[in-house]
Amino acid sequence: MSESASVDNFPKPTSITGGCLCGSIRYQVDFPKDHDFLKASGSCQCTQCRRNTGALIFVAHTAPLNGFKYLTSTETLKKYYATPGIQRAFCTNCGSFLYWRDESSDGIDIAVGCVDPEFLSEFGFALANSSGHNVWCENEIKGVTDHFLNKERGIKWSQNSGSAKM
């Protein structure tokens, strides 16, 4: 983000591409003109996301499902359900975690780390600013993850986004 950029003024992509480590699964996301990049950026610290991603915090960007499309075959795509109705998708070839999706919603939470580097370098703030919901913060690791993200922005939830705020 440039020196003059702020939460009120930052570059926003019209589309992005991304994929797994081995390249067998590639995708594109097209954003509508009215996409709220601040609200759509969030994080999760639940045990499932930690184990699924291997990261202490899963940083996600919620995109409209109708704007998400595969650019390659999905032969190596596997969907895992740790919770009924919640897809966690990964590549069976390289193990890359690609997205989390509640099947009852019209969105898809893409793993920001799988977005192509050229889009992250230009639009990283738009995709990963954590101004939306930051969930399962009761699992914060004091002195480690409790200050990772911009917690002055967004909504901090002790569990999921339907639980009481911390």
pLDDT at 4: 52
What mean pLDDT is reported for the chain?
A: 87
Min mean pLDDT across 31-45, 109-123, 132-146 is at 132-146
If one compares 129 and 1, the residue with the highest pLDDT of the two is: 129
Q: Per the confidence metrics, is the pTM higher than 0.95?
A: no
Mean pLDDT of all residues in 67-74? 98
Q: What topology does CATH give the domain 15-156? A: 2.170.150
Burial grade of 150 (CB within 10 A; 0-12, 13-18, 19 or more):
middle
* Domain residue ranges in the chain: 15-156
Strand order, beta sheet including 26-30: 15-19, 26-30, 68-70
| Helices and strands (H, E) in the chain, number of each type | 2, 11
**Lowest-pLDDT range, 25-29, 30-34, 59-63, 129-133?**
129-133
